[in-house]
Structure 1
């Protein structure tokens, strides 16, 4: 029984990553955790388009505002949209039972989604919705086929369509998938939409490890301390052993 429990524990992360997966090439997300303007734009997108259904229940508003360089009063005025206190956890107001009924399952908490899925997966996923009349919300996703989530960023991107071209392959004309293209009705251009998604992914990566930059900074100083300490320890060792032949 113990062996089975250990085996299950080792398999769970792989199963989570594989769920909803596909063989679609993942685009590189060139995120920068030190880019505070990017994190601020990402936080604004998250609060406006994601927090209505998803939540990050292990992160507080105050911690987020302080880390990404947003004054508390401005954060409360512009990023806290449902009247919570600045010290509250970032929870969704949607009832779990209703969400399960509407979407087939309660929307997952996104605090650690970047650590589970990876930045490249999220960046590609949010740019891979396309029109599919057979789905409940009228859209599907290349990275996560048959996902039960609407395309919440559609007003920014426009209506995205699955693009195919007729090409000669082995002497026969065949329909070849060439990508996804929006119809131009969105608030952003294609490049602007990609940049906005990158900001949102950058923010989600920050949420997964809010203390990452601080830990890296402390780690560098620890290495410097160890190096200096090594010099003194070496000199002390030489002094202890100088009369030993």
Structure 2
């Protein structure tokens, strides 16, 4: 048994070491009840992200209904080209063009916050830094060798990597964070707020019924709690003669 435990620890050690070296995830602190934040996030996503990334399970009219967006605002701010209110939110870039320009088709982001977590998405969007070795001149702390250009770079500004010394002599230094060296068109506070809005919108898109599910869950638990009382009394009545 002792040998089995030691072997398991040896197998897990590299993973634990790697986990300890990854960048710290910032708290996204989103509020799905903040409808204004979700509306801003939808606008930012359509304008900055949807050229390459789709939300293939979300329809414009469903988004408008959930977020309190009227028809006029929907058409003026979220519908471009020949898109219609009942259409799915698909990207404008063709897959063959994406393969030619990026070498990979950008993923659909409908479920990204459920797969990665809102904190990961929030931190990822803030963690691009200058790297001359990459095709688009940037890299990312959470996603090394990322193929995505920094589409929000003009808003955030330029960042450089914060390097930690190598753990072993002759080893490679590790990127542990980023530092802003040239501010963009937004202040750090304004950029953080923008990224938080985008993250909140993507969290909503991953499960549009989340708030309704939570609301109904309260009543379901209340019903089960009340049902327990007659069920318990009925059980006692059935088993009275046995005991």
- Per the normalisation by structure 2, the TM-score is 0.80
Answer whether contact 1:162 1:181 (CA < 8 A) is retained: no
Q: Is the 8 A contact 1:45 1:200 kept in 2?
A: yes
Aligned residues: 216
Aligned counterparts of 2:177 and 2:121: Cα–Cα separation in 1: 20
Q: Which residue number in structure 2 is paired with residue 75 of structure 1?
A: 74
> Does residue 143 in structure 1 map to residue 139 in structure 2?
no
Displacement of 1:232: 3.5
SS at match of 1:140: strand
Please name the residue that 2:221 is paired with: 223
Q: Secondary structure at the match of 2:66?
A: helix
- Quick check: 1:179 aligned with 2:175? no
* Shift in alpha-carbon separation, 1:211–1:29, aligned structure 2, 3 A: same
Q: Deviations over 1:80-99 (max 9, x none)?
A: 12331111100011110111
Q: Is the 8 A contact 2:53 2:108 kept in 1?
A: yes
Distance across 2 between alignment mates of 1:144 and 1:236 = 58
How far does residue 230 in structure 1 lie from its aligned partner after superposition?
2.5
Counterpart of 1:3 in structure 2 is: none
The residue that corresponds to 2:112 in the other structure is: 113
- Return the TM-score normalized by structure 1: 0.79
Q: Secondary structure at the residue paired with 1:183?
A: strand
Unaligned runs of 5+ in 2: 1-20, 166-172
1 CA distance for matches of 2:132 and 2:24?
24
The aligned residue for residue 212 of structure 1 is: 210
Give the whole-Å Cα distance in 1 for the aligned partners of 2:164 and 2:226.
63
CA distance in 2, matches of 1:83, 1:46: 18
Q: CA contact under 8 A between 1:163 and 1:181: conserved in structure 2?
A: no
**Alpha-carbon distance, 1:72 to partner:** 2.8
Taking only aligned residues, the RMSD between alpha carbons, in angstroms, comes to 2.6
The CA deviation at 1:244 is 8.5
What is aligned with 1:188? 186
Any idea what SS the aligned residue of 1:161 has? strand
